[in-house]
Chain A
């Protein structure tokens, strides 16, 4: 048995990026979301060309993980899971894809028409192989997500997890991502 402990957090909203409550970076409010995401990528990452192919949902989750995981984890990547939620699922990209269907359906957009793809992109980047789940909810349900993580910890399925909210619809977005680790009790 182990208790759930939040050891780091990242928030991305209103073109601002916070880590553990500290404002790390702020972009001009005049930028559209696409340009904000590119500027954030240049500021916090780079050298990962596949980023540019991702949809907005994946870019947001991927960037938050990038900011969150600057410090080495206490658990190997194979023991790290992901439990995420949002309100709009992949509707932002679904509608973009639907627009292309009228002429030439875009394979590059089609692969992002599921909300859980963001967890795949984060897992590929960091080598995570633990359990994952994506919930579509009106509001972030802390009790649901934390009890789910606790269950995975109790079953020794994972030792750590990225949990949180990754929402985007049109230009409106919000990311709240936590690193949750198992605190072993003697």
Chain B
């Protein structure tokens, strides 16, 4: 998950956040890391660009992007399928 945290920091240009400061289960949006709707789109780009994973059902977004752990689990599951 360390690599994914580094990718999130780079993709979202979070210059005042160090990857190791992001908790595995810390919420990414609202009271957690404070990401917004544009960041959500950038996370979708990250999945596509770095892992060649497209999100087929947009309704899954809140579940996938709840935390770094949920993102990592989603990536692992989809890479296994490929």
Mark A residues whose CB is within 8 Å of B. Answer: 38, 49, 52-53, 103-104, 106-108, 111
Contacts and interface: CB of A to CB of B under 8 A. Distances in A.
B42 A108 contact: yes
A80 B16 CA distance: 30
A111 B41 CA distance: 11
Nearest to A51: B15
A87 to B, nearest CB: 27
Interface string B1-43: 0000000000011111100000000000000001000110110
Contacts of B76: none
B17 A49 contact: yes
B11 to A, nearest CB: 9
A108 B12 CA distance: 8
B45 interface: yes
User: For the complex, would chain A's binding face be called helix, strand, loop or mixed by DSSP majority?
Assistant: helix
B57 interface: no
Interface of B: 12-17, 34, 38-39, 41-42, 45, 48-49
Contacts of B48: 104
A111 B34 CA distance: 18
Kindly list the 6 A-B residue pairs having the minimum CB-CB distance in the complex, ordered from nearest. Answer: A107-B41, A52-B15, A49-B16, A104-B45, A104-B49, A52-B13
A58 B1 CA distance: 33
Contacts of B16: 49, 52
Contacts of B42: 106-108
A103 B39 CA distance: 18
A177 B15 CA distance: 27
Contacts of A38: 15
B13 A106 contact: no
A92 B8 CA distance: 25
6 contacts: A49-B17, A49-B34, A53-B38, A108-B13, A108-B39, A111-B38
